[in-house]
Amino acid sequence: MVFILRQSRARNPLLRLSIPADRNRATAFLSMAVIGAGMFGMLMFLAFYLQSVLEFSPLATGLAFLPFSAGIVLGSSIASKLMPRFGDSRTMWIGLFGAALGMVWLVPVGPGLGFWAQVLPALCVMSFGLGIYFVPASSSALTGVGEEQSGVASAPVNVTQQVGGSIGPALLNTIFLVATMATPDSRLQTLEGYRAVFAAAAGLFLIALLVALLLPRRASRRIAG
């Protein structure tokens, strides 16, 4: 609040308030914050799950996340082909729907399903969707912004993702503790905690999708100069 008040009165503000006030940019910033909360929280607890339930070593856990990175790269390359045809907003919807689908796939975790049958496919679908989403989300932040303000307009995309990423793990950790304490069977406490966490992360992804639906169907990508 202090920052906003200071910028509103500054003669040469670091961040013009008209930038986050724009509907396209505000939607991109908010959805990115929600996605950051769900994604970073999920990654933290999935690492715990792989080691505590599936008994992966730390090295195997790290290697298990390689497909996630590859999926984001692949999704990003596909997004550049979808955006000219569908526009920024619809491409965001496609990506967020895929990411939410992958997150929902991860919810019913258990040792009976394992890594190959559940975790790996969920990570691939989720990361592919996120890769598709990230590109138009960043593009929406630059809609109608002059070249002299493009750097300032794009910076909040990373900031909001990091802010969401700092809140998400704390939020999901609280959910994990509540879920484990509510389960009387000690053998199922940890498993129910992970299921609750992944369900909450899936809910955050769906919230991000609902936020993105506020975007016009075809967000203009023309840069004012």
- Residue 201 belongs to domain spanning: 22-141+155-212
In a domain, 128, yes or no: yes
- pLDDT tens for 43-71 read 999 999 999 999 999 999 999 999 999 99
**Residue 130 belongs to domain with CATH number:** 1.20.1250.20
In a domain, 225, yes or no: no
pLDDT of residue 140: 80
Give 222's pLDDT tier (boundaries 50, 70, 90). very low
In a domain, 130, yes or no: yes
Phi, psi of 17 (to 5 degrees): -65, -15
pTM above 0.75, yes or no: yes
